[in-house]
């Protein structure tokens, strides 16, 4: 089967290897997301409602906990050829939820009166989103689910420098 030059077989093997790569990188992704979540919670604690910071952190912890469980399940049981599509879908769904949580953090916790906290929020969210891109090798949909949700809210915020990869400055208050 590994010597089969059939294009369909090669494509299936490439997809299987990409999904294995995604799962092998989950510990790094989970650790980075949780580190970012702790930093975000710490930096927003004094300028956002505490119930919101605690709730967001709990949701992020639950999401990343489910991704850690996926990794442990992968380590114990591996992936079968029949389960590759499901495994890819589960990884993508977890990434999408994570991206939505990060984008939601921007919308819900944006500190309108504190430029230093605005900068911290923008840097954290952009850093987590940018860090997700290398974690999704040649899997465009999963990379976009992690990158896209945080970027549009930042660009809608009327920042002067917005590109397809997100915003590079903090939101400016309209006068």
Distance CA 132, CA 126 (A): 10
State the angle between helix axes of 84-109 and 7-24 in degrees (0 to 180), rounded to the nearest 10: 50
pLDDT tens track for 6-43: 777 888 889 999 999 999 999 999 999 999 999 999 99
The whole-angstrom separation of Cα 126 and Cα 166 is 7
Report whether 32 contacts 128 (CB < 8 A).
Answer: yes
Average pLDDT for residues 61-83, to the nearest whole number? 94
Q: What is the pLDDT of residues 82-139, one digit of tens each?
A: 899 999 999 999 999 999 999 999 999 999 899 999 999 999 999 888 877 766 555 5
pTM over 0.75? The answer is no
DSSP string computed for 52-72: HHHHHHHHHHHHHHHHHHHHH
Q: Are 128 and 33 in contact (CB under 8 A)?
A: yes
Q: How far apart are CA 152 and CA 79, in angstroms?
A: 34
pLDDT in tens, 142-166: 444 444 444 444 444 433 333 333 4
């Amino acid at each position: 089967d590994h010597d089969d030059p059939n294009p369909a077989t090669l494509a299936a093997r490439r997809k299987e290897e990409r999904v294995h790569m995604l799962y092998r990188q989950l510990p790094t992704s989970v650790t980075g997301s949780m580190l970012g979540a702790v930093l975000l919670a710490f930096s927003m604690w004094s300028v956002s409602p505490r119930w919101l910071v605690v709730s967001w952190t709990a949701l992020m912890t639950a999401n990343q906990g489910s991704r850690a469980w996926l990794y442990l399940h992968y380590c114990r049981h591996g992936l079968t050829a029949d389960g590759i599509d499901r495994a890819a879908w589960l990884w993508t769904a977890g990434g999408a939820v994570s991206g939505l949580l990060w984008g939601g953090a921007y919308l819900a916790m944006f500190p309108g009166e504190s430029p230093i906290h605005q900068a911290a929020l923008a840097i954290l969210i952009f850093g987590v989103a940018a860090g997700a891109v290398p974690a999704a090798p040649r899997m465009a949909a999963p990379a976009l689910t992690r990158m896209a949700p945080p970027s549009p809210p930042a660009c809608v915020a009327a920042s002067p420098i917005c590109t397809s990869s997100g915003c590079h400055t903090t939101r400016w208050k309209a006068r």
